[in-house]
Amino acid sequence: MASKLQSLVPLVIVLLLLTVAALAEGSLEYGNEEELCGLRSLFVDAGTSKEARDNIISYVKDSKIEVQIAEAVEEADILIILVDSTNQWTEWALTIEGRTPGNLRLVHRIKDGNARLNYFRPSSKMARWFIEAWKKANSAGCVDQNENERENNDADTDG
């Protein structure tokens, strides 16, 4: 088990460096919660905080939304990532694949204090926001919209 964790450390470092690089190079795009429509797999990168990752995953599973938890970032449509954390505050970001290959598309960001008086932990706040946003984006109209897009794409390739 320890060797598996050790092998994940470079991946987590690379993900964090890519996120920082994307922010620095301006290859970060901005999106909105409606873009969660049709997305069905989630990867949670909480750095070394297994407790925060498990907390988000628990919220998602308990919500019974139709989202699978991906074991690798490459398998996911949605990425919730711990961007930064200090003793005073924690910042989470929810991203999806950008419209330009290689870019990340920021859908939502939570930056919250780590004060003991907070009712919900920052990871709980991100999980609760994600679940509600996903439910809203994946309402009945979402399915029809995705089917229409697939049909249009099929028609474009046929002719």
- pLDDT mean over 39-54: 92
- Domain of residue 89, residue span: 2-158
pLDDT at 150 over 50: no
- Asked if residues 63 and 131 have their Cβ atoms less than 8 Å apart, the reply is yes
**Which parts of the chain are beta strand (E)?**
28-30, 41-45, 68-69, 78-85, 89-97, 104-113
- H/E stretch holding 5 reads helix 2-25
User: pLDDT by residue (tens digit) across 63-115?
Assistant: 999 999 999 999 999 999 988 776 666 778 888 888 888 788 889 888 876 55
How many domains are there within the chain? 1
Q: What is the pTM of this model?
A: 0.70
Highest mean pLDDT among 24-28, 127-131, 154-158: 127-131
